[in-house]
Chains A and B, each alone.
Chain A
Amino acid sequence: MAKKSSSPNLSRRDFTKIVMSFLGSIMGAMVGVPIIGYVISPALKATEIDDWVSLGALDSYPIGSPKLFSFTRTKVNGWEQTTNSYGVFVVRKSESALNVYSNVCTHLSCRVNWNEEVAAYTCPCHDAQFGLNGEVLYGPPPRPMDEYEYTIEDGNILIHLTEA
């Protein structure tokens, strides 16, 4: 190894370098891939929800003003059952027409309340206001309130709850 080989062929040192970096990359991948997979795998798990949830009899909801219905759903996260609570506002426009809105603020997910005095859904976090039909009246939310698809079966309201 005293002086560099002058032959046109690969020198012993360069050959060693190439082999070492090749083996090194393989070993790096063998260590790196499992560790990255291990850390991010819960993020890649699909915990889908695709349910029809009953909100009770259509007749129990007044015409004109929103009424809150709350329910919970549990799912398995890791080694534990996680219970999430949901709130939806049912707004009956007439005998047969209605809308169901999620109470999750479209800004940063605080829960909104119906405030009779200002006739708006108000968000406690950043003062947003939404109108009776979910439209943004005031504040930072980027879009109107989210709505649920619904059907009426045997006089009961069912909403379609989906989550990816």
Chain B
Amino acid sequence: MFEKIFQWLDERLGLEAIYGAVLDRKVPKVNWWFTLGSASLFLFVMQGITGIFLTMYYVPSPDKAYDSIQYIMNGVAFGWLIRGIHHWGASLMVLIVFLHMLRTFFYGAYKYPREITWLTGSLLLLLTLGMGFTGYLLPWNQRAYWATTVGTEIAGTVPGIGDFILRALRGGSDLSAVTLARFFSAHIWLLPLGIVLLISVHMYLIIRLGISNVPGEDE
């Protein structure tokens, strides 16, 4: 029965072929460091899912952001768990993505023909840091407020266009409701969209080029 349904679908969708290309690839003899990319992907998906559930109660407005998070922590069943996973997962993701980059660097995996994998990877690291920066403001507590004050101030020290960057980040000269709203928008729409697009390219290249070997002694 299921066999038949599967066959019918496979004939039209080429499921076996997708499975073969994506999961049944030939892989050189590698080690545990090669799991860090998959770990990054897993963490991104997990942040996405927990983040979606957080938006069910979180409100990005200066007078309600803090209260809505208090409500998630104390008023909603398992709110502490969903927020906790998102909170700790954020730091873990930065760490894992960074270690993944070190792995590909020290194994020379960025070399021809994988330069674009490296390039998209670098952008992914930047966007991941951007997620951390924008997410940090959302609780709208003292720490969030001052961290963002300092962070945007640092961006403001760029020679020449610094002041413009600071205003663009804050949406004006002050840290305000406008800042909170645009950080929220970047955190849930712009940056994740960029990450999804870049991961698509990154993964396409991994499937197309295969995984590199562990370099030998003489390489």
Chain A interface: which of B4-12, B28-36, B78-86? B78-86
When distances are taken between beta carbons in the complex, the residues of chain B under 8 Å from A35 are: 53, 78, 82
Which residues of B approach A to under 8 Å, CB–CB?
53, 56-57, 59, 64, 67-68, 70-71, 75-79, 81-82
Residues of A within 8 Å of B, CB-based: how many? 12
Whether, in the assembled complex, A15 has its beta carbon less than 8 Å from a beta carbon of chain B, the answer is no
Give the residue name and chain of the A residue nearest to B54 (CB). A38
When distances are taken between beta carbons in the complex, the residues of chain B under 8 Å from A45 are: 75
Which residues of A approach B to under 8 Å, CB–CB?
34-35, 37-39, 41-42, 44-45, 78-80
- Contacts A38-B76, A41-B77, A42-B76 given; does A78 touch B82 at CB 8 Å: no
> Is A78 touching B57 in the complex (CB atoms < 8 A)?
yes
When distances are taken between beta carbons in the complex, the residues of chain A under 8 Å from B67 are: 79-80
A80 to B65, CA, bound (A): 11
CB distance from B2 to the nearest CB of A (A): 14
> Is A78 touching B78 in the complex (CB atoms < 8 A)?
no
When distances are taken between beta carbons in the complex, the residues of chain A under 8 Å from B81 are: 34, 38
Question: Which single member of A34, A37, A39, A78 contacts B75 (CB below 8 Å)?
Answer: A78
> Is B71 touching A79 in the complex (CB atoms < 8 A)?
yes
Give the residue name and chain of the A residue nearest to B56 (CB). A39
> Is B68 touching A79 in the complex (CB atoms < 8 A)?
yes
A154 to B57, CA, bound (A): 46
Question: Which single member of B53, B56, B59, B78 contacts A79 (CB below 8 Å)?
Answer: B59
